[in-house]
Amino acid sequence: MERRHAVRADGITKCFGDVVALDGVDLDVTQGQIHGLVGPNGAGKTTLLGLLLGLAVADRGRLEILGQEVGRAFAAPDGVAGFVDGPGLYPSLTARQNLAALAALRGNDARTAGIDDVLDQVGLTDVADDRARGFSLGMRQRLGLAAALLTKPRLLVLDEPSNGLDPAGKRHVHGVLSRLAADGTSVVLSSHRMDDLEVLCSEVTILATGRVVFSGPLSKLATESRELEYRLRTSDPRAARDLAAATGGVKVVDDAGARYDAEVFVVRALTPALDELVAQLVRSGIAVRELAPVASPLEAAFLALTDQEAGR
């Protein structure tokens, strides 16, 4: 099966004076894939997104975007759109005027550029003629996404697109991104919202201090050999706790967190040991009413990997 790549970065290094923002970063983004970029503040996410958008050039390494090798000159190839550090909007213009000005900049007629369509996609039709000055952060994010969609991108680069979005806005944005990916557009997005990334992304890259500490499918993260903590609620907490303590590879964690509940306790285990515990609970006639990771696999992996990197 052929996998077409929208982005191929090989050993990208970018320095700002003495600060190494990116240190030999590799990144592959498959066409039609939503690829998440995760990392603590200062990890180099914005710098990497800036390189994809043509805002800067790498000091070393090779970067290929949509089949075009990016040279020493600024500017990404046609077909790349998006934003870093929030969408760029002009507060004195209305939402429609912002998009019309952008369409005119690209030589498109504002009437035929699909402005109404993209406003509808991001759920801003009702405020199309309101000045952007009065927009909330979430509305600005959606208008920024609409501006990117206007260019009919083949690679969409978004920095924290869910910032400030209410649940309805988030649903709109997730729907748009999923449809774009289904239509073959590649999306690279950074976020601190692990739940968003887990819902949207098929692959993630975790950055720490300018280096890639993990890159691959989310499923691979879950199977990485690291223990996760799970909340366990059963019909007989005391017996379940004893059983867990006796099960090999399972540790009972006394601290149940802020939400103290006598029926709930937390265990730490690898997936096989957890499976064994569940089997034993069932065999002992103890009903399992809730079993959920305290932190998502991505979040746990993120914390573990970035802690490791920071500790180096």
CB 84 within 8 A of CB 37: no
Here the tokens at position 89 are 């909007």
- Closest to other proteins by CB, 104 vs 287, is 104
Task: With CA atoms as reference, report the closest residue to 37 among 68, 66, 73, 12.
Answer: 12
Whose Cβ is closer to other proteins: residue 75's or residue 168's? 75
Provide, rounded to whole angstroms, the least separation between the CB of residue 146 and other proteins: 13
Q: Which of 11, 77, 216, 237 binds other proteins (CB under 8 A)?
A: 77
Check if the beta carbon of residue 224 is closer than 8 Å to that of residue 56.
Answer: no
End-to-end CA distance of the chain: 39
Q: In what order do the strands lie in the sheet with 250-253?
A: 250-253, 264-269, 228-234, 288-293
Q: Kindly state whether residue 11 participates in binding other proteins, applying the rule CB under 8 A.
A: no
Binding mask 153-192 for other proteins (x = CB under 8 A): -x-------------------------------x------
Q: Which of residues 21-40 bind other proteins (CB under 8 A)?
A: 28, 31
Q: In angstroms, what is the minimal distance from the CB of 81 to other proteins?
A: 7
| Contact call for residues 36 and 205 (beta carbons, < 8 A) | yes
- Angle between helix 137-149 and helix 95-105 axes, rounded to 10 deg: 30
Q: Which of 10, 26, 64, 276 binds other proteins (CB under 8 A)?
A: 64
Binding site for other proteins (CB under 8 A): 1-6, 8, 16, 28, 31, 46-47, 50-51, 53-56, 64, 66-68, 73-93, 97, 101-102, 104-107, 144, 147, 154, 186
